A and B are shown apart, each in its own frame.
Chain A
Amino acid sequence: MGDVILRMENIDKVFGSAYALRNINFELELGEVHALLGENGAGKSTLIKILGGIYQPNGGRILINGTEVKMTDIGEARAHGIGIIHQEIVLVPYLTVAENIFLGREPKTKLGLVDKKKMNAEASRMVSGLGLDIDVTTVLENLTIAQQQMVEIVKASSFNVKILVMDEPTSSLSDEEVEKLFDTIERLKNDGVSIIYISHRMEELFRISDRVTVIRDGTYVGTKITKETNAGELVAMMVGRTLESFYTRTYNEPGEAVLEVKNLCREGVFKDVSFAVHAGEILGFSGLVGSGRSEIMTAIFGADEYDSGEIYLNGKKIKNKNPMQAIDRGISLVPEDRKKQGLVLVNSCSFNMVLSSLKYVMNGILKSKKKISKLYGEYGEKMRIKAASPEIEVGSLSGGNQQKVVLGKWLATRPRVLILDEPTRGVDVGAKQEIYTIINDLAKEGLAIIMVSSELPEIINMCDRVCVVHNGNIAACLEHGELTQEIIMHYATGGEGNEG
């Protein structure tokens, strides 16, 4: 070790008016595995996209082997020996392994046709060179996810790669497959490839990395030699703030049950889901992605069907055939993906704000501009939306402001039950804090709130009670006092009993 192969200095990246990255420094030595650590939205993937030529930085410079380079596009980055393995597989599922590796640069015969023999032989050589045992004539979709990922690595390294970025490579791998991946990483390292390794899993970082750089909210926090640090120190660097002041939660005595769900089932998705949420209460729903949390909510909301079970609103049995009915009954759902499900991005802020509560802004059959601007004013202020004008496209706002428009839109329907699915996903810290304050205020006003979230600190600090969903079942319902990350994860991953 010793030679610095890559140096990113004072990197700035601005989206709209918000800094995604500010003054980031990152350094990679030859043959090192350097972990990049940070919370969701800290700016890791933005930094990687700048390195890969997908984004252009607004400031700072990139040096490779001491000379400044400009990564104008993906091809340029590749020419500098940078390979990126994304979280999702980006290969063609219906082509063979060899065809995927050589896609776009197939060896040709004299007639100009693809020289399959040569291609397969070359691909085999590469695959075995990394100590892998994969038949290169297999169609990709017949491989396991782990094998596909290995093919990605083979492909990336076939471009004479010097710097290999791996973005959460183990997120969908079994323990055994992770071991194989680590073997491959060791091999690459010995071949002189330097690796940037992004992962949330602490134990992996300590096994595989030589150094760790932590970024937080788009700024550089520090770099540590892995052997000389510990998980506690890294978490403190990552979080970097006292959580107590970040969340606002005033406890109120919950009122009567507003929404009750009994034995709700949908074949293969969720089973026997029962719970109740009370006025003034925030009920959390935790669980792994794909555990069925969101599907339970969309079923209650009438956006998806359920096979059996009962839903009671204020003691009266209801069944929402579609979202419209749910809205009329006073149930609102802030969906998890604001761009795909929450907003009509090409339309204006005020258009989106009133879309679900048009009945409040009509004069007869015509929309009243006055009423629209009054409603927008009221909820825009309540949500503290920062938009130049109510008429600008909502897609041009920052993530946080977009999320506030979605929240405002759903509050404008005047709900009694508010279901929030990942209410702070992809919003910056400042907006997060504001959203927490808003949610707390709403609970104070007596709204019954259900909050689905993957972020454990958020769940732990904001919720009165938490239902942990595992495989479509509510594995446990925990009271505020007994909430810790460990206990929630214990149930979310299928742990039994209360030994957590």
Chain B
Amino acid sequence: MKAKTSTGKKNILLNNPVVNVVRSNIGIICVLLIIGVLLSFLSDKFLTSSNLISVMRQISINVYIALGMTLVIILGGIDLSVGAIVALSGTVTVGLIVNSGLPIGAAIAIGLLIGVVCGFISGTMVAEFKLPAFIVTMAMMNIARGAANVYSGGRSTRITDEFFSSIGSGYLFKVIPLPVVYMVVLIVVFTVILNKTKFGTYIYAIGGNRESARLSGVPIKKVEIAVFTIIGLLSAFAGLVLSSRMYSGQPSVGDGYELDAIAACVLGGVSMSGGKGRISGTVFGAMVIGFISNGLNLMNVNSFWQLVVKGIIILIAVVIDSQKNPDSPISKMIGKFKRSSAKKAA
């Protein structure tokens, strides 16, 4: 009887989504808090609401892409082409509005479609020809970046249209920047997709064990193509928002975005070998990256050093992540230490 009531209580806790999110991301949340406390001491500007809102706006672009990247990595793949797609969709959309005089709606639709097509091609290559996603998307990265430069002649195009710039620079209720609103909506949507739909279940199954998934009746190719198409769409959307915020379409933007997105996933505990990960983790990961660059900005650290710091933090995160695996050297070291101290105690 006693056992029953205790599991009952446990279940209530387990079923509470907030408790669940905290429980499963406890490591990254601690990191986030430590960084937050540290920064609030180092800079008195950090804890102001205007700064926090601006951090949220800064990370929003990365979060759109990182949501797609979470799906791709859980599936067991990777996508290096996202940054280039950001640039391509932004330049083309702006170019179509400014140079070709297309209606804004049509131009946006075409911009998004470009992302969809790029993702669909990558996904098809991976699914149908069984090519490594790393290579396929690296090629796609060059194609998209090249196309952006070809289309724009390598120059940025200014856009002054008010409606277009409101997409990225507007506010909801005059307080919340629109990019943050999109971010929240997308986070909710993708959390539901990954946890609640067949499609999400299939992504976990394929990444966890492709052969088991195949024999379980999972339509592997369709899911793979769909996931790459989705990240293409998200990247194109990120490109739109970014070009709107910058009042211009620039073929050189988005450089290194793939690494920021991958870093957010890894920091958030998405397993690079596939099969494991959560949207909430990725969001926290993106927040850690955002806090760090914001802090470094506030302390006037130059951007070259920021890159070094970011790299180091990612390395540390990956090392920590790898320690979940009992065969890793550090786990073994800890195991040995535990055994020897247990012996001493005995």
| Interface positions of A (Cβ within 8 A of B) | 301, 303, 322-324, 326-328, 333, 335, 340-347, 351, 355-356, 358, 362, 365-367, 389, 391, 409
Contact = CB atoms under 8 A, between A and B. Distances in A.
A367 B196 contact: yes
Contacts of A345: 208-209
B204 interface: yes
Given A324-B219, A355-B201, A358-B201, A341 B212 contact: yes
A328 B219 CA distance: 13
B100 to A, nearest CB: 38
B204 A344 contact: yes
Contacts of A344: 204-205, 208-209, 212-213, 275
Interface string B194-218: 0111100100110011011111111
A366 B217 CA distance: 19
Contacts of A347: 204-205, 208, 275
Given A347-B205, A351-B204, A341 B197 contact: no
A346 B208 contact: yes
Given A346-B275, A367-B195, A367-B196, 13 more contacts: A323-B215, A324-B218, A324-B219, A344-B204, A344-B205, A346-B271, A347-B205, A351-B204, A355-B213, A355-B218, A358-B201, A362-B198, A389-B7
A345 B214 CA distance: 15
A351 B201 contact: yes
19 contacts: A303-B215, A324-B219, A327-B217, A340-B209, A340-B211, A342-B212, A344-B209, A344-B275, A346-B271, A346-B275, A346-B276, A347-B205, A351-B201, A351-B204, A362-B198, A365-B198, A367-B196, A389-B7, A391-B14
A343 B204 CA distance: 12
Contacts of A351: 201, 204-205
Contacts of B7: 389
A367 B219 contact: no
B192 interface: yes
A324 B204 contact: no
B253 to A, nearest CB: 35
A201 to B, nearest CB: 33
Contacts of B208: 344-347
A187 B208 CA distance: 49
Q: Which 10 interchain pairs have the tightest Cβ spacing? A: A344-B208, A324-B217, A327-B217, A366-B196, A356-B216, A344-B209, A323-B217, A346-B275, A346-B208, A355-B216
Interface of B: 7, 14, 192, 195-198, 201, 204-205, 208-209, 211-219, 271, 275-276
B211 A341 contact: yes
Nearest to B11: A389
A412 to B, nearest CB: 11
A333 B201 CA distance: 20
B215 A335 contact: yes
Contacts of A362: 198
Contacts of B216: 323, 355-356, 409
Contacts, number: 71
A367 B196 CA distance: 5
A341 B205 CA distance: 11
Contacts of B212: 340-344
A323 B210 CA distance: 13
Given A365-B197, A367-B196, A343 B215 contact: no
B286 to A, nearest CB: 24
A346 B195 CA distance: 16
B192 to A, nearest CB: 7
B279 to A, nearest CB: 16
Contacts of A389: 7
A324 B220 CA distance: 10
B73 to A, nearest CB: 14
B3 to A, nearest CB: 11
A342 B217 CA distance: 11
A55 B271 CA distance: 28
Contacts of B209: 340, 343-346
Nearest to B198: A358
Nearest to A368: B196
A246 B38 CA distance: 66
Contacts of A333: 215
A322 to B, nearest CB: 7
Nearest to B196: A366
A231 B317 CA distance: 60
B125 to A, nearest CB: 20
Nearest to B206: A344
A403 B332 CA distance: 30
Contacts of A391: 14
A283 B203 CA distance: 36
Contact of B192 (A324, A346, A366): A366
Nearest to A413: B217
Contacts of B219: 322, 324
A326 B275 CA distance: 25
Contacts of A355: 201, 205, 213, 216, 218
B215 A341 contact: yes
A60 to B, nearest CB: 18
Nearest to A359: B198
A127 B211 CA distance: 43
A337 to B, nearest CB: 9
